[in-house]
Amino acid sequence: MAVKDVREYYYNLLMQKIEMKQDLEDFEQAFKVGYITEDKLNEVKAQVEVIESNFNRVGYLMYLLELPNRPSKQERWKKQNKELGKSFEDKKADYASIKLENYSALDHLREELKNLTEKEKK
């Protein structure tokens, strides 16, 4: 996959995200009027959060793709894009956050497996 394909994918996701935000506003308005329940609105918001998280992670990949190859230019580029980098940290879409999330999930799975095997032994 070429960089241009990743960019195209990102911009398609961006357009979908914009549409999703508009649809979410419609759902919130329908809730205010009383057409849908709070449970349904919360269900929709949960789905939106998943889409938002995926978008942020692809956005972080775009951020990394734009990072210059030469180390001498990387520091300057990072300073210029400091707020963008910070926003990925805040949204938990940066490498460190994703790594922490993955290890947390692995630890949870291992703990579940350990509990299951201990129950079998009894």
> pLDDT tens digits, residue range 33-65?
999 899 988 998 998 888 888 889 889 888 888
Cα separation, 19 vs 26, whole angstroms: 11
Provide the pLDDT confidence category of residue 1 given band limits of 50, 70 and 90: low
Provide the pLDDT confidence category of residue 26 given band limits of 50, 70 and 90: very high
Instruction: Say if residues 86 and 92 touch (Cβ distance below 8 Å).
Output: no
Residue 6: the pLDDT is: 86
Of 64, 72, 66, 26, nearest to 45 (Cα)? 26
Please report where in the chains the tokens 């979908």 appear, as a residue. Answer: 16
pLDDT at 122 > cutoff 70:
no
The stretch 81-90 carries a mean pLDDT of 88
pTM of the complete model: 0.72
Instruction: Say if residues 74 and 39 touch (Cβ distance below 8 Å).
Output: no
Residue 32: the pLDDT is: 92
